[in-house]
């Protein structure tokens, strides 16, 4: 059995991700279908947790997987927009990425118009 930590932690993490998702649309995250579904699932799991231990673990596993999905997508999009979303870089930018600088020629290189 995989160690998942506390379900409360997973729940808080999910709420956090839902807030991020709804930051742009301006709606409250409690108005979303995802929030309603998660509340329902987490409540049901609390009620029957003693009877169906296997199902409890399974539900928590799915919640943790979903949390990992939402968080990874958010981080991936942020990195994508910063590094890959704008197409090919100029020579100066590429050099800057690895901590280098292009040499400066006082008075130009001589062949510019």
Partner 1 sequence: MWRTCLRLRDGGRRLLNRPRGGLIASEGRGPSPPTPARAYAPPAERKRFYQNVSITQGEGGFEINLDHRKLKTPQAKLFTVPSEALAVAVATEWDSQQDTIKPYTMHLTTLCNTSLDNPTQRDKGQLIRAALKFLDTDTVCYRVEEPETLVELQRNEWDPVIAWAERRYGVEISSSTSILGPSIPARTREALVSHLASYNMWALQGIEFVVTQLKSMVLTLGLIDLYLTVERAVLLSRLEEEYQMQKWGSIEWAHDYELRELRARTAAGALFVHLCSESTTVKHKLLQG
Q: Which residues bind partner 1 (CB under 8 A)?
A: 1-4, 21-22, 24-25, 32-34, 37, 40-41, 44-45, 47-48, 51-52, 54-55, 57-59, 61-62, 64-66, 68-69, 72-73, 75-77, 79-80, 82-90, 97
Smallest separation (angstroms) from partner 1 to the CB of 90: 6
Smallest separation (angstroms) from partner 1 to the CB of 27: 9
3-state helix/strand/coil string of the chain: CCCCCCHHHHHHHHHHHHHHHHHCCCCCHHHCHHHHHHHHHHHHHHHCCCCCHHHHHHHHHHHHHHHHHHHHHHHHHHHHHHHHCCCCCCHHHHHHHCCCCCCCCCCCCCCCC
Q: Which of residues 12 and 39 has its CB atom nearest to partner 1 in the complex?
A: 39
Smallest separation (angstroms) from partner 1 to the CB of 64: 6
Smallest separation (angstroms) from partner 1 to the CB of 54: 8
- Using alpha carbons, select from 103, 102, 76 the residue that is nearest to residue 89: 102
């Amino acid at each position: 059995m995989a160690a998942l930590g506390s379900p409360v932690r997973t729940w808080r993490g999910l709420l956090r991700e839902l807030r991020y998702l709804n930051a742009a649309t301006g709606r409250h995250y409690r108005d979303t279908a995802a929030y309603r579904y998660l509340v329902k699932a987490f409540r049901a799991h609390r009620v029957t947790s003693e009877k169906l231990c296997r199902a409890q673990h399974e539900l928590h596993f799915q919640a943790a997987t979903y949390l990992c999905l939402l968080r990874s997508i958010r981080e991936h999009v942020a990195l994508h927009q910063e590094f890959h979303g704008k197409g090919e870089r100029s020579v100066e930018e590429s050099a800057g990425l690895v901590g280098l600088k292009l040499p400066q020629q006082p008075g130009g290189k001589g062949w510019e118009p």
